[in-house]
Amino acid sequence: MKVKIISAGAPVAMQPLTCNRDLQQIPVAGIALEERLLRMFESDNRNGNKLLEIRADLCPSAKLLSTIMEAQENLLLKSPDGVEMMRLTVNANSAYQEIQLDDASIIIRYPWDILAINEQIVAAISEDNIKGTVRERVSVDGKLHLGEKSVILPGVFIEGNVIIGENCKIGPNCYIRGNTYIGDNCHVGQAVEIKNSLLMNNVSAGHLSYIGDSIICSFSNLGAGTISSNLRHDGKNHRSMAGDALLDTGRRKLGVIIGEHVHTGINTSFYPARKVWPGVMTKPGEIVSRDKTA
């Protein structure tokens, strides 16, 4: 099968994740969206004449993936608003059968969609893959992937599935909950709790912080006592700005979306579902109640 990825550009609604890159370059669980799509279909050598044209902002479910791989006829998939998301050509002389998007597939429109994809990937790991060092008095209640030259120090408790990259230092005495991905060259230190989050490469959260249902982009540093709130007091879904629109995210729990090269001052607190643009700094004790673009 030949695969052509159709660029999704850098939509404003995906900021701050697309401030400095196109959507297909966003890494999820360590692999860019474009590369992940290519890997999904690279094993299909049954029909080299098939041509799959797929948008970079489509994350197909296992069901949709199987449908595409097994197809013996031309297929066409559109989004609910009529955008062509995928076209599979088996026979150039035949008509296309239009198929429907299933509930488990994700069209990536907003930053919290990236969090949902990360959840799926980490939840799907079924066995341990430990290449780094796990010291004594570390508890793991779930499946763990740990990269080379990474070390988990005493007193760390891991609950649920967690993926940790290479050259990381985790602990001592921190709590990591599924479904969390931590990239390469990261530091998660003393009394830090991370839950259901995506930390990209070169992120540091050294002391006394809580990061829940959040995305932290590369080269960001969280000062001691940085806290992300992720739950409304009334229990309703979070709303977040996307461009000029205030949208229902569909998520009951959503923390902070932090761009690249962000530095938070000690004791920074984030309201739920807030976003921070790349290169921004917060002051010690700052309460971030609105998206922070500068």
Q: Which are the catalytic amino acids?
A: 207
Q: Tokens for 269?
A: 């607190």
Report the alpha-carbon distance of residue 187 to residue 168 in Å, rounded: 6
Q: Tokens for 59?
A: 């994350």
The amino acid sitting at 167 is N
What secondary structure letter does DSSP report for 252? S
Q: Tokens for 187?
A: 């530091």
Structural element, H or E, at residue 157: strand 157-159
On whether the CB atoms of residues 82 and 109 are closer than 8 A, the answer is: no
* Ramachandran quadrant class, 250 (left: phi over 0; alpha: psi -120 to 50; beta: rest): left
Q: Pairing mode, if any, of strands 256-258 and 274-276? A: parallel
Q: Tokens for 263?
A: 């530095």
Structural element, H or E, at residue 123: helix 111-123
- Length of the chain equals 294
Q: Can you tell me whether residue 211 is helix, strand or coil? A: strand
